[in-house]
Structure 1
Amino acid sequence: MSIQIYDPTLRDGNHAIGHKLSTSDIQAYCRAVDGCGLWCVEVGHGNGLGASSLQLGRATHSDREQLECARENLSQSRLGVHLIPGFAKISDIRTAVEIGVDVIRLASHCTEADLTESYFDFACGQGKLVHGVLMMTHMASAEVLLEQAAKQVKYGASAITLMDSAGSYDPRSTAEKIGLLVKHLGVPVGFHAHNNLGLAVANSLAAAQAGATILDGTMRGFGAGAGNTQLEVMCAVLERYDYETGVDLFKLCAAIDSLAEIPPVAKPTIIGTSNLISGVYGVCAGFEKHVARAAETFEIEPRDIWKELARVNAVAGQEDLIIEVANRLRKGVVA
């Protein structure tokens, strides 16, 4: 079976360094990995197009600057973008298309696919590949995810990717949810893992074994929280299990070695205790830095914030809620 490898190092990885990837970093990375066989390289602010802000973190460069840089330096791998309605506007899709983006991924919280309909209406008319994405999918059953994914397919999605945004999956839950979508959707299904429980590679393999044909991975796992599936390890494991990825593993390893000075390689990605706790509680991995700051400011334990965020079902994009939760905990308001 063939697997398309989707690389969001230059998007999800932005979370790890406060969205401060430079155009020099983007240029160096794209030049190094172009030709390694990666199906698509995704670029942008950690929360996608239009998300650079005080609340979520300001990017060093505009969406246009980042995408134009990547487009100039990718000739073999496709260029992809991530959009979340509310952060991104329809005009952001138009800009991405003008620059020459090949793959548009439209994302929503796992139970809010309805919010993507108007975005699909516009994007599907632009002659690009348009994929649907459901985030924080540990928060919904396989049946609910199928219902929500079917909506995005109805809107025009040519593929659906489930994101384990909190790094809370295990191989059993991965197989259950991916398998149900593969059985019923009729379009390719993808999987995007985080490594909070140390299971990202195992979960990605379980997704492939359940029928997923698109897998996300980032160089050295560079990404939010404990990081993503480690790209090069995932490719090696898939090769061991006789999947065809089109990736030249040794060329990819050489690319990693050539990028010693840029963040995806220079910044180590580890599973810290806070990452582990967020995975146990099932809270968005991208909250890590916000929780750490709030814990220090309000002089409370990070684990208490993670626990309360889980109790109130906080979802990606609700970074402002972290301060509110920390303040309540400090005052002893929360039981």
Structure 2
Amino acid sequence: MAQVKITETVLRDGHQSIAATRMRLRQMLPVLEAMDDIGYNALECWGGATFDTCMRFLDEDPWERLRTIKKYVKKTPLQMLFRGQNILGYRHYADDVVYEFVNRAVDNGIDIIRVFDALNDPRNMEAAIKAAKDTKSVHVQGTLVYTISPIHTLESFTRVAGELEDMGVDSVCIKDMSGLLAPYDAYNLVRMLKKHLRVPIELHTHCTCGFGEMTYLKAIEAGVDIIDC
């Protein structure tokens, strides 16, 4: 079995999910260098709700937060969550705005951009993926948003993942932000993706339904390359 890599998400999704994204930069600073020494695949520290919350509730500059984290984290790639055509907001933005935001994020320290769309519509991820690829300096990760419905099948997830691979993504993440992905469903999905894709597969899940740990275990048995924690 190949070694499984770990992406640490406590600086972004950890406090977004359990503390309404209210962690301040000064609370992060004491642990950044220690986290940098652990050997994570990446530290997800930006994007998602952090940008909005910094300005709306914390009176912090989100760009300064990113630059400061980069000063302390010298060895581990920094990752952000990018909402496709929504960037980090709550509506669609023009392509030129997407391009400029991607470039500014990279200039200020981002190394990995995880691009997702709530509808799993590759058209809503295309501009962000192309902008990130055009920088020629970041890892671009496409995303499958996991949910359960008659149309969310192994075949439909594999089709979307194939379209993302054709766009040039460097890896694909199964993003189970609701914690709905059951262990054996994770096994079957990872096996299907590994069969049809050439790029690495990452899994992001939550323990909302109580089986997050077992979901990771079965995904690892199926050959997943990276897991989030």
Q: TM-score, normalised by structure 2?
A: 0.86
Q: 2:129 aligns with which of 117, 120, 132?
A: 120
- Pick closer, same or farther for the CA change 1:116–1:46 going to 2, 3 Å: closer
- Partner of residue 64, structure 1: 63
Identity %: 21
Q: 1:204 aligns with which of 213, 216, 225?
A: 216
Question: Unaligned 5+ residue runs, structure 1?
Answer: 218-335
> Are the equivalent residues in 2 in contact too, given 1:19–1:45 (CA < 8 A)?
no
Tell me the TM-score normalized by structure 1.
Answer: 0.60
Instruction: Give the Cα–Cα distance (whole angstroms) in 2 for the partners of residues 197 and 60 of structure 1.
Output: 34
> Which residue does the alignment assign to 2:95?
none
Deviation at 1:87, TM superposition (A): 3.7
RMSD: 2.0
Structure of greater Rg: 1
Corresponding residue pairs, total: 214
Greater strand share, structure number? 2
Contact in 2 for aligned 1:113/1:134 (Cα 8 Å) = no
1:77-156 to structure 2, matched below 5 A, reads 77-85=76-84, 86-88=86-88, 89-109=98-118, 111-126=120-135, 127-139=137-149, 140-156=152-168
- Report matched runs for 1:204-283 at 5 Å: 204-217=216-229
Residue matched to 1:17: 19
Superposed CA deviations along residues 24-73 of structure 1, whole A, max 9, x for unmatched, are: 1222232221111111001125446x55499xx74553331221121011
Tell me how far apart the structure 2 counterparts of residues 121 and 80 of structure 1 sit (CA, whole Å). 17
- 1:109: how far off? 2.0
State how far apart, in whole Å, the 1-side matches of 2:20 and 2:40 are. Answer: 25
State the match for 2:40 in structure 1: 38
Offset, 1:99: 1.3
- Contact 1:188–1:213 (CA under 8 A) maintained in structure 2: yes
Separation of aligned partners in 2, 1:141 and 1:186: 20
**Runs of 4+ residues deviating >6 angstroms:** none
**8 Å contact 2:114–2:142 — kept in the other structure?**
yes
